[in-house]
Structure 1
Amino acid sequence: RARELGFETVACASTGNLANSVSAHAASANLHCYVFIPGDLEAAKVLGNLIYKPHVVEVEGNYDDVNRLCSEIAGEHGWAFVNINIRPYYAEGSKTLAFETVEQLGWKTPDQVVIPMASGSLLTKIWKGLHEMKYVGLIDDVRTKINGAQAEGCSPISTAFKAGRDFFKPVKPKTIAKSLAIGNPADGYYALKATAESKGAMDMVTDEEVVEGIQLLAQTEGIFAETAGGVTIGVLKKLVKQGIIKKNEVTVAYITGNGLKTQEAVIDAVGRPTRIQPSLVAFEKNFKLGKNGGGDS
């Protein structure tokens, strides 16, 4: 879209994942690229930008500081900032998560969804996407409850919801879930509105619960999620315990990033490999094996 509109340079403000995506697409489209990120991002996400050779700008501050700077640059230099002056095209793309969900469920909507929130845009666009499926006649009804998930260290939207407010108060982020660390979320009001319309809920989890969520998903489903995924699973677990999500309901948890990007968050929680000498005796000394294999060290 940037090329169609005549831009030669694309850019974005990002907590990490969007910057990786913009860098990759810019390389493919042969566009100049600048990505602006907070100075404390995980190393894997920084590398995920540098490999495409854009201009990577680390800003001394949090995402909200980055975003303010980018708004000024967009006005001065006339670049296509994916999540500022051409934001509608970027945001509308998130509806594909709703489309694919409906398709994979046999052209039915789920009973419940749990969605991680940073700016709140993803949640609003999944809600919009479900209704567009009904509008074009691909589904009969939208019966999905929209649930939002945040980390306690950056939970302005969830805090507002739990307090019964239709507005949020900006916060200064402090959480290991850096991809969700937006203290002044652009679509926070609309996320609150969508959740209320759907009769859904919102909640938040501690950093410890984020790590537990990552481990739970990995050990039960074989999916290694980044910290945002830990937030989603942690909140899903809470909502089930609270009786808000019933165990017999068709529920979709959106996992939006790979755990290899945020290894620092779990490295102290997963333990170390069992180191042995290269012999059968050493192996059997360290592991108690049953007839069908398995066993414990």
Structure 2
Amino acid sequence: MSAVVTERPTVRVGAFGNAKALSCRECGHQVGLGPFYACPECFGPLEVAYDFPHVTREEIEAGPRNIWRYKALLPVPSDIEESPNTEPGFTRLLQARNLARELGLAKLWVKDDSTNPTNSFKDRVVACALSAARELDAKVFACPSTGNLANAVAAAGARAGIKTVVLIPSNLEQPKQVNSAVYTEQLVAVNGSYDDVNRLASEIAGEEDGWAFVNVNVRPYYAEGSKTLGYEIAEQLGWRLPDQIVIPVASGSQLTKVDKAFQELIALGLVEDKPYRVYGAQATGCSPVSTAWRDDAPAIRPVKPDTIAKSLAIGNPADGIYVLDICRRTGGAVEDITDEQVREGIVLLARTEGIFTETAGGTTVGVLKKLVETGQLDPDLETVVINTGHGLKTLDAVAGSVGPAATIEPTYAAFTTTGIA
């Protein structure tokens, strides 16, 4: 599967729904829909371009309670529901009154994607990538991953009955390794960082025919799945956009696609056009985008990750420069916090709202707190934060910070010594 071949492969009519081409994000050059991810003119990244039909709120609301209610806005066929998939999406949007009170915010919502089939938002993007892999007649469904993507790809591949191979850094959290290995025998641990694993995946994709690497040679389709977060937030708010949104940044794709979703909803007349601010969240141990923001740099300088937030540990983020562009355009910012603040964010969300988030969510909540304290985020405006995964995946991050308040004998007298009553 080549990155730059421009001839359109043979696919069935309507295989990619209302998608019309792949368009370069840098120069605008377009190529046919296929397993391509780099522009043949300037080697810039490709993304999906559409000819959208007239879509109404009522048509969307009549759809299934998963991401396929938005199929007209995604690069998938109209009969996508008939293909076995994990049916992710339409996760809960919770008003976080306790956390808002704690942080001094007027109104706060948590978009909780930990309730997806493999307990992270990655199920969304993988469902779109799987559809593309099917239409391109791929024989192997694969990915390099920091953990959540590996879980989602392994589960989706099992459901679809396709051979699945996932590559992960060998130092990945044990729960995430188990959550992948239970679905597939082809789990490969690589000695190195995620960036090393990603380079290996790119090499394999260039050498092996019939392999669909979700975030390499079918990346344009895969990335579109993140738009559904933006669609759902707007729909669940009563078809309106929030004033502010805080999003974790790894590759940066999620943030850029949520913004793309908001822009599409405005263009289609499904929501009112209004200003909104987008904020990015990183951990200090892997913060190339927030560093570039702070330095007002025109480009991202790659770093070697060193943080407990392993799902965000991408030292050379593919969409980092676009994150900067969006945050500048909307009046937002990109911030980072220490590992200790990540842990504090996990506990804060759990003890105020009963939501156990992984380290990426702890990063987002911790950055939200920092943005309020530093005056970068307006506490009087309606705000949404995205929780991308479940805390059971990263237990080690907080295992040493929480535990029993006391260990006592089974007597009332012993209980009274705890001071809890």
- The TM-score normalised by the length of structure 1 is 0.94
Q: CA deviation at 1:283?
A: 2.9
Q: CA deviation at 1:282?
A: 3.2
Q: Which residue of 1 aligns with 2:257?
A: 125
Q: Paired residue for 1:190, among 302, 305, 322?
A: 322
Q: Deviations over 1:118-172 (max 9, x none)?
A: 0000000000001111111110114210100101110001100111112110000
Q: CA deviation at 1:257?
A: 0.9
Q: CA deviation at 1:38?
A: 0.5
Q: Which amino acid aligns with 2:146?
A: T
Contact 1:131 1:142 in 2 (8 A): no
Q: CA deviation at 1:244?
A: 1.7
Q: CA deviation at 1:288?
A: 4.2
> Which blocks of at least 5 consecutive residues in structure 1 are unaligned?
290-297
Which SS does the other structure have where 1:66 is aligned? helix
* 192-201 or 42-51, larger mean C-alpha shift: 192-201
Q: Paired residue for 1:14, among 145, 150, 154?
A: 145
Which SS does the other structure have where 2:226 is aligned? helix
Q: Which residue of 1 aligns with 2:226?
A: 94
Which SS does the other structure have where 2:280 is aligned? strand
- Give yes or no for the alignment of 1:250 onto 2:382: yes
Q: Which residue of 1 aligns with 2:174?
A: 43
Contact 2:251 2:320 in 1 (8 A): yes
- Give yes or no for the alignment of 1:75 onto 2:200: no
Q: Which amino acid aligns with 1:72?
A: E
Q: Which residue of 1 aligns with 2:303?
A: 171
Q: Paired residue for 2:350, among 211, 215, 218?
A: 218
Contact 2:223 2:257 in 1 (8 A): yes
Q: Which residue of 2 aligns with 1:162?
A: 294
Q: Which residue of 2 aligns with 1:34?
A: 165
Q: Which amino acid aligns with 1:225?
A: T
Q: Deviations over 1:243-273 (max 9, x none)?
A: 1212221111111011111011111111335
Give the CA RMSD over aligned residues.
1.2
Which SS does the other structure have where 2:387 is aligned? coil
The runs of at least 4 aligned residues of structure 1 exceeding 6 Å deviation read none
Q: CA deviation at 1:284?
A: 3.5
- Give yes or no for the alignment of 1:109 onto 2:241: yes
Q: Deviations over 1:168-208 (max 9, x none)?
A: 10000000000000001111111111111111101100011
Q: Deviations over 1:203-229 (max 9, x none)?
A: 100011101111111111111110001
Which whole-Å CA distance do the structure 2 matches of 1:288 and 1:134 have between them? 53
- Give yes or no for the alignment of 1:149 onto 2:273: no
Q: Deviations over 1:16-75 (max 9, x none)?
A: 000100000000000000000011100000001011024111110000000000000001
Q: Deviations over 1:83-113 (max 9, x none)?
A: 0000011100000110111111111111111
> Which blocks of at least 5 consecutive residues in structure 2 are unaligned?
1-130
- Give yes or no for the alignment of 1:281 onto 2:413: yes
Q: Which amino acid aligns with 1:48?
A: N
Which SS does the other structure have where 1:254 is aligned? strand
Which whole-Å CA distance do the structure 2 matches of 1:285 and 1:158 have between them? 48
Which whole-Å CA distance do the structure 2 matches of 1:54 and 1:89 have between them? 26
Report the number of matched residues: 289
Contact 2:346 2:357 in 1 (8 A): yes
- The TM-score normalised by the length of structure 2 is 0.67
Which whole-Å CA distance do the structure 1 matches of 2:405 and 2:156 have between them? 38
Q: Which amino acid aligns with 1:6?
A: D
Q: Which residue of 2 aligns with 1:65?
A: 196
Which whole-Å CA distance do the structure 1 matches of 2:358 and 2:312 have between them? 11
Q: Which has the higher helix share?
A: 1
Which SS does the other structure have where 1:202 is aligned? strand
Which whole-Å CA distance do the structure 1 matches of 2:302 and 2:420 have between them? 53
Which whole-Å CA distance do the structure 2 matches of 1:209 and 1:67 have between them? 28
Which SS does the other structure have where 1:266 is aligned? helix
Contact 1:110 1:143 in 2 (8 A): no
Which whole-Å CA distance do the structure 1 matches of 2:405 and 2:309 have between them? 26
Identity %: 55
Q: Which residue of 1 aligns with 2:359?
A: 227
* 213-222 or 240-249, larger mean C-alpha shift: 240-249
Q: Which amino acid aligns with 1:34?
A: V
Contact 2:341 2:366 in 1 (8 A): yes
Q: Which residue of 2 aligns with 1:295?
A: none
Contact 1:228 1:257 in 2 (8 A): yes
